[in-house]
Amino acid sequence: MSAHMAPEMEGVAAGAPTRGPDSENFPVASRLLSPAVRAKVLAFYRVVRLSDDIADSPDLDPAEKLRRLDAIEAALDGAPGVPEAAALRASGAGVEEARAMLTAFRRDSRNEGCKDWAGLVDYCAYSAVPVGRILLRLHGEGSAPQPAADALCIALQVLNHLQDMGEDRAQIGRIYLPRAWMNEVGGEAAVFNEPAPRRALLDALLDRCEALLDIAAALPHRLQSRRLALESATTIGCARRLLARLRAADPMAGRVALTKADALAALLASPRPASDAAVVRAAVARAGSSFSRGMASLRGERRRALYAVYAFCRAVDDIADGAAPFTEKRRFLAEWRAKLDAPDCALSRELAWARARFDLPHSECIAMIEGMETDAAPRLRLPDEAALELYCRRVAGSVGAMSVRIFGAPEAVEFGLALGRTLQLVNILRDIDEDAERDRVYIPLSWLGPDASPAELLERPDLHEACHRLLGRAEAGFAAAEAELTSANAGPLRPARVMMWAYRRILDRLVARGFHPPRLRPRLGTAERARLAAIALGWG
């Protein structure tokens, strides 16, 4: 206790509140709620705001912050001296949730930080989850919506941390980013001073937020209260807009914030919360995939199912490619194994629907995850051609085997497996240098000689010969696929033809470019993209 503070409960407040409910990033006690509920939420908010201001005060030492937070908790139990706590007690709701949040504010006062993602989620369980829990309780909702509500609250908290990362560090010396994740990209100094490591870390954490929002997507549909459903749908809409802004901008270069137009757009969309199919469709649109033309050639349920498969593959690929530590990547991929049996988010539910509708084998989804577990390693080498074949079977053959079933040609599974392998070989040839930056070398070491650093492997004289060996296998794969399309009923396989045409053009560019540095990444031109669209529409 500081010398000028009396031992009783006086002096708890750290001054005027730093903000009111209308100035928060996301809806707090909005007028979508009934007046009676809103009054109780505002009483809860005032205690939380008071506690937060204490924990964030730059003028109080940690011991004094903890003393004041202890005084607030005592007032929640009936001690005098904190009017805000007394008002919350009188409201008849929110005391236990406020008590839980004091745990987070004490952590903030001690500036504990978070070691890893699990630590950050645990912090959010005290700093944000109680907000959702009190809203559910005040509206008489049962336990069914809790997982979705918890996911939404955690996502909102992490988005706020990313939004305020520079300000938090500069003004109060606090960093919420997981320490293990910062170390993965070079450490704290690199994250806060260098754009590239910071971008990698931000994108990996935003991927986690997006996964949480996919779980939260079910919340409006699971609520009995129409008012709370509108509130939650609006909040989800705001969160997705802020996430998109954080993907596109650097929060260290200037504050990334929602505008009034963003909030209005989320509110106008809230009466019709997005379905699982709409959530997945939007994710596919944001990805800007090279497979988009092939997917667009399908209609109705077939397109919906292919979107689900593509989005699943993209989700696990983002985990493997992201900046999270290896142990965390393995855990996130293990969570996807569990989702296959117990869907808990928009994407996993859509994938479950697609699997049931088109008889997609569970084993193919597992194969994809196993391939991503290979990619998730900090350092990747394939010892021989058999390892390359297994890798291609998992990450690309699985897609081909599922896709042909969706196309309506289940008899063409072997074609799908072979085509997937061929397209993956093209990817490997195209992305040699990009993969090397991640310490991944997919060309078998048996073709290159002893293991070495990526730079040394890519400078070896035998690299050119090894690339041409892969090239020969890819060309043979395209020839076999063309022959099979000629002899089979090619109508259902039109999406495969679209992909074959695009990848064949890329392979031709690689042949013309060669495999000596500089290896510029080949891209399709405007005329080729137009031709691709024509093929997708059945005109070519």
Q: Choose between 494 and 470: higher pLDDT.
A: 470
CB atoms within 10 A of CB 148: 26
Mapping DSSP to helix (H, G, I), strand (E, B) and coil, where does residue 234 land? helix
Residues composing the chain:
540
Core vs surface per residue 451-472: b (16+ CB within 10 A) or e = eeebeebbeeeebeebbeebbe
Which of 67-76, 284-293, 430-439 comes out lowest in average pLDDT? Answer: 284-293
Q: Choose between 29 and 473: higher pLDDT.
A: 473
- What are the residues whose beta carbons fall under 8 Å from the beta carbon of 196, sequence distance 6 or more? none
Phi, psi of 443 (to 5 degrees): -70, 130
Residue-wise pLDDT tens digits, 363-396: 999 999 999 999 999 999 999 999 999 999 999 9
d(CA 253, CA 250): 5
Which of 301-305, 448-452, 514-518 comes out lowest in average pLDDT? Answer: 514-518
- Quick one: pLDDT band at residue 168, thresholds 50, 70, 90? very high
Long-range contacts of 433-436 (CB under 8 A, 24+ apart): 433/458, 433/519, 434/521
Residue-wise pLDDT tens digits, 83-110: 999 999 999 999 999 999 999 999 999 9
- Quick one: pLDDT band at residue 459, thresholds 50, 70, 90? confident
Supply the DSSP string of 395-444, one letter for each residue. IIIHHHHHHHHHHT-GGGHHHHHHHHHHHHHHHHHHTHHHHHHTTEE-S-
Q: Choose between 496 and 236: higher pLDDT.
A: 236
pLDDT of 405 reads 96
pLDDT of 537 reads 64
DSSP annotation of 380 = E
Q: What is the amino acid identity at position 458? A: L
Which bin fits 203, alpha (ψ -120 to 50), beta or left (φ > 0)?
Answer: alpha
Residues 253, 284 contacting (CB under 8 angstroms): no
Supply the DSSP string of 473-519, one letter for each residue. HHHHHHHHHHHHHHHS--STTHHHHHHHHHHHHHHHHHHHH-SSSP-
User: At residue 292, does pLDDT exceed 70?
Assistant: no
User: At residue 8, does pLDDT exceed 60?
Assistant: no
pLDDT of 18 reads 62
